[in-house]
Amino acid sequence: MSAVENILIRFAVAYARTSSASNPKHSIENQIAVIKEYCDKHNIVLVKIFIDEAKTGTTVTNREGYQTFKRFIGDNDIDLVLVAYSDRLGREGFEFIRSLSEIKKKEIEFISVSEKINGSELSPIQLGFTAVRIEFENILRKQRLSEAIQSEIKKGRCMNQPSYGYTKDNNGFLIVVKEQAAVVKEIFDSYIQLQSSVKVAAHLNESGYSKPNGSPWDSAFVYKILRNKNYTGNQYRKSKLQESFSKKRIYLDDELLTEVGHQAIIEMKTFTKVQEILDKKSKTRIVRFNLLAKVLYCPNCNSIMYGDFRKQKYVCKERREQKSQCPVLHKDYIEPKVLTFLKTRELKNVEVTEQQDTNSVINRQDLLEQKKELELKFATLKISVKQFNNEMKKIITNLNRLNEQKNFVVTIDNDDSFTSLIERGEFEEVSEKMKKEKIKISLNDNEEIIEINKNN
């Protein structure tokens, strides 16, 4: 038998990937070069290379190249799968193990060329250690990337989508868009006069202005601009806390991020004046006026209740004239109940596909925590692939049900709904909206808010 006949030729496919902030060492060109050199040395025929550029390795669902690669090795007779670095397959431990398990299930050998890792030769313990190492490197990589981004921001570069009124030059620095800047100035000046984001939005629409996407202005977008301190010439980050029970957002002081500023659109004194108006309206408006005027009805005599903001209570005509012992409803008791009722009422009025089939809605955060715990168990070899897939399928199913509500959440965050108005503290608009929609409310025997029918 000749020497040529003794040469074993194997057929391989390769997979290469870069993230959006790729290390030059991990560039597609370098990965392919490393893989081709390995093939030349080991008599391997490289059949095809699958590539994903600017794709994260934390999940496989958004990687088209990887999905095509999976279908290819399932439909063709392949001996080897080659990658330059093991984390190209997946940056999180559980994702790496799941991807490697799918390859081994097809009896295909996996090799990470630079690290000299042969997946077929790894024991379960070694596989677990490899997954943990990948996970740890991913954490360090994220930390280094975050530090690099913060360093660039300090130099004055904008690393996110520019605020309305600005664009970025070729070096990433903010420059003013004159036409949009004029609108931003109009928003601040108008708000000082009108003191209502709803009225400012109406003013802009009447003046022929439109949002960047061509849609009409709304109060939520106006409010976002009014709260944006970046218009004063520096980049800031608005820190916020969220109470776990009430989900109420508590905004903290703006944190200065930049050491080098950009051209300001709004003077600091104008911005400060607007913030004072917004904060004052948010904190005291519910005290200074009667939120439930012409809306609240007595649970005893069913007549309208009148507000007294000085005494902070609502009473009906019968009680005010001392003709009956109808109840007195204090503002700090009834108004928060009504605000909660309005937000809940809005949720119930939204048609959510298949929501009726679910007896209880599982909290999204709980599901995400369950998913993370399951991934950790799988990455550390505490559960089998079959157990992982079965449990993950249940979690994904529940998440998909919650995702049916996504469009509603977007609507609530971006229009003049009760939820949006309440979150922004625009209680006068809440009162006007209740009157406009002819909402009439009272209390039942269990002291629960109910809607009642009134012709007047």
Tens-place pLDDT, residues 95-106: 777 778 788 888
Residue 329 has pLDDT above 50, yes or no: yes
Kind and range of the H or E run holding 315: strand 313-316
Identify the weakest region by mean pLDDT among 40-44, 315-319, 424-428: 424-428
Mean pLDDT of the chain: 79
Q: Of 150, 147, 163, 165, which is closest to residue 256 (Cα–Cα)?
A: 150
Kind and range of the H or E run holding 48: strand 44-52
The token pair that represents 417 in the structure block: 């709904």
Check if the beta carbon of residue 376 is closer than 8 Å to that of residue 119.
no
Check if the beta carbon of residue 110 is closer than 8 Å to that of residue 73.
no
Neighbouring residues of 292: CB distance < 8 A, sequence distance ≥ 6: 305, 307, 314, 334, 335, 338, 431, 434, 441
Q: How far apart are CA 331 and CA 328, in angstroms?
A: 10
Tens-place pLDDT, residues 338-388: 998 998 887 766 544 334 444 334 467 777 778 778 777 766 667 776 777
State mean pLDDT over 180-197. Answer: 94
**For 392-440, what is the HEC assignment?**
HHHHHHHHHHHHCCHHHHHHHHHCCCHHHHHHCCCHHHHHHHHHHCCCC
Q: Extract the runs of DSSP E, i.e. beta strands, from 173-312.
A: 174-176, 236-242, 249-256, 305-308
What's residue 25's pLDDT?
53
Question: In the structure, what pLDDT confidence band is assigned to residue 264 with cuts at 50, 70 and 90?
Answer: very high
- Residue 236 CA neighbour count, 13 Å, CB half: 16
Secondary structure (3-state) at 316: strand
Question: In the structure, what pLDDT confidence band is assigned to residue 145 with cuts at 50, 70 and 90?
Answer: confident
Per DSSP bridges, beta strands 10-17 and 166-168 are: unpaired
Residue type at position 287: V
Q: How far apart are CA 62 and CA 400, in angstroms?
A: 16
* Cα torsion 155, 159, 165, 170: sign: positive
Between 88 and 29, the higher pLDDT residue: 29
Residue type at position 192: I
The token pair that represents 376 in the structure block: 């950790």
Q: How far apart are CA 150 and CA 163, in angstroms?
A: 18
Question: In the structure, what pLDDT confidence band is assigned to residue 413 with cuts at 50, 70 and 90?
Answer: very low
Q: CATH 3.90.1750.20 occupies which residues in the chain?
A: 166-286
Question: In the structure, what pLDDT confidence band is assigned to residue 122 with cuts at 50, 70 and 90?
Answer: confident
- Alpha helix (H) ranges present in 42-122? 64-75, 93-105
Ranges 2-16, 44-58, 71-85, 124-138, most confident? 71-85
Neighbouring residues of 339: CB distance < 8 A, sequence distance ≥ 6: 422, 430
Question: Cα(first)–Cα(last) distance of the chain, in Å?
Answer: 104
- Which residues make beta-bridge pairs with 44? 10
What's residue 380's pLDDT?
64
Q: How far apart are CA 262 and CA 387, in angstroms?
A: 54
**CATH code for 10-150?**
3.40.50.1390
What pTM did the predictor assign?
0.47
Neighbouring residues of 433: CB distance < 8 A, sequence distance ≥ 6: 416, 418, 421
* Cα torsion 212, 216, 221, 226: sign: positive
Tens-place pLDDT, residues 148-181: 888 888 888 888 889 999 999 999 999 999 999 9
Secondary structure (3-state) at 246: coil
Question: In the structure, what pLDDT confidence band is assigned to residue 207 with cuts at 50, 70 and 90?
Answer: very high
Q: CATH 3.40.50.1390 occupies which residues in the chain?
A: 10-150
Check if the beta carbon of residue 85 is closer than 8 Å to that of residue 26.
yes
**CATH code for 166-286?**
3.90.1750.20
Identify the weakest region by mean pLDDT among 39-48, 118-127, 265-274, 422-431: 118-127
What's residue 50's pLDDT?
92
Kind and range of the H or E run holding 111: strand 109-112
Q: How far apart are CA 399 and CA 358, in angstroms?
A: 12
Tokens 């007294």 appear where?
A: 308
Q: How far apart are CA 165 and CA 147, in angstroms?
A: 27
Q: Of 105, 74, 87, which is closest to residue 15 (Cα–Cα)?
A: 87
Q: DSSP letter at 310?
A: T
